Amino acid sequence: MSAPLIVILNGPNLNLLGQREPEIYGHATLAEIDQMCARTAGGLGLTVECHQSNHEGALVTLVQEARGRSHGLIINPAGYTTSSVALLDALLAYPGPIIEVHLSNIHKREAFRRDSLVSRAATGVLCGFGARGYALALHAIAGLLL
């Protein structure tokens, strides 16, 4: 049997990771995080597909395309976390486990970052663990699936 597929989605501006604000978001680039996710997934008997988009509609389409093809979803919705009803609606239609990840602890920052719409569709939420949050999310999904 082939390894269950987990789709990892990263929202706007996360393509800039490692280039600015390392004190908040860490030094790892998104390519390094994607590689770490592939390694972690392999060790757990999972496989990953990683995407990043700066566009709300593209993220909605990626969630829709993950339906029926993947066994779980990890998403850092970034700047769409508190504003995108379209992304929430797409996630509510996704049948598998969804883990919402934020590199920073959004509860320690400005109030506007806290009220996540995406959390309403998430199985669980991880924030404040930096890049390690993605690995923790993969472990959480493995625990739910395997």
Q: Give catalytic status of residue 25 as yes or no.
A: yes
Q: Binding string, 12-51, against ligand CA2, x = CB under 6 A?
A: -xx-xx-xxx---x--------------------------
Tell which one of 104, 119, 135, 137 touches ligand CA2 (CB under 6 A): 104
Strands 98-102 and 72-76: parallel
Binding of residue 66 to ligand CA2 (CB under 6 A): no
Tell which one of 32, 51, 79, 144 touches ligand CA2 (CB under 6 A): 79
CA 118 vs. chain centroid, Å, equals 11
Q: Give catalytic status of residue 102 as yes or no.
A: yes
Q: DSSP 3-state assignment of 112?
A: helix
User: 37 with 62: CB under 8 angstroms?
Assistant: no
Scanning 11-19, 33-41, 56-64, 85-93 for contacts with ligand CA2 by CB under 6 A, the matching segment is 11-19
Distance between start and end Cα atoms, the chain: 13
Query: Which residue(s) pair with 49 in the sheet?
Result: 7
- Nearest CA among 133, 115, 18 for reference residue 75: 133
Question: What residues are labeled active site?
Answer: 25, 102
Binding site for ligand CA2 (CB under 6 A): 13-14, 16-17, 19-21, 25, 76, 78-79, 81, 102-104, 106, 113
